[in-house]
Amino acid sequence: MTTIRLSNDLRPLGKSEILVSPIAWGMWRLAGETAPVRVMIDAALGAGINLFDTADIYGCDVPAGFGSAEALFGRALAEDRSLRAKMVIATKAGIRPGIPYNSSADYLADALDASLTRMAIEQVDLYQIHRRDFLTHPQEVAEALTRMIDAGKVRSIGVSNYSVHEFAALQAFLGQPIVSTQPEFSPLQTAPLFDGTLDQAMMHDVAVMAWSPLGGGRLAQGDHPAATLLAEQGARYDVDAATATLAWIMAHPARIIPIVGSQTPARIAASADAHKVEWTRSEWYAVLQAGMGVSLP
């Protein structure tokens, strides 16, 4: 029986020349002290992960507040400047509590400079609009992003939580390709399979970065039918359910990059084994149907 096998090799980030790992490490839960963060960074790099994803809003739900995840990451980088060359750093802007969205040109310019300052870096490899601002014309957004690239502050552009039409509208005003899109995707959140997000990505060679790949942790442990199947599949390859879930996401032909959000170094390191898991079509579809709670026609 034909099986789907995964690769652990670096690949281009969409149409850019930036090479990224098949798994990313995300910092939406990053908080605390610098020393543990450095251990997490080392665990990610040791697992072959070079794509590090953050956002200016990360940390908004902890006492340190807005921007604190970027600042904490920046302090860890400052302790060893050699780390920067090993990383592809992605961040996002456009969400601001109480507004809630702002992608105006002036706001984005200030937000980028603030992110660079917090992380103590001169350039972001991937700058993403976090969510669509309905009150800003996509042409204004495109012009702001283009100025960032021309100034050398940003290498490539991506979007997060964008519909296919929002993506197309922004791309229409850009002179360079949008290289990535970041939807929520897991066996419990399958909308990108059906709303055109993954089809558009494959059509235009756009990298897909999946946030919340473990369904908010429900697939790593618990009694959901999909979690049970994933645990069984993982056991066949001597990995846990969380790692098998990453492999399930990576098996899609869009070559989806799951963003691991764990703050546990051992859990981050374990993600490196995702490429060991193989899938038959029947196994993969069984997880999909279990996650959806319905049978496909």
| Catalytic entry in 58, 107, 127, 162 | 58
Q: Could you tell me if 24 and 258 are in contact, meaning their C-beta atoms sit under 8 angstroms apart? A: yes
Q: Known catalytic residue: 58? A: yes
Three-state SS annotation for the chain? CCCECCCCCCEECCCCCCEECCCEEECCCCCCCHHHHHHHHHHHHHCCCCEEECCCCCCCCCCCCCCHHHHHHHHHHHCCHHHHHHCEEEEEECECCCCCECCCHHHHHHHHHHHHHHHCCCCEEEEEECCCCCCCCHHHHHHHHHHHHHCCCEEEEEEECCCHHHHHHHHCCCCCCEEEEECECECCECHHHHCCHHHHHHHHCCEEEEECCCCCCCCCCCCCHHHHHHHHHHHHCCCCHHHHHHHHHHCCCCCCEEEECCCCHHHHHHHHHHHHCCECHHHHHHHHHHHHCCCCC
What residues act catalytically?
Answer: 58
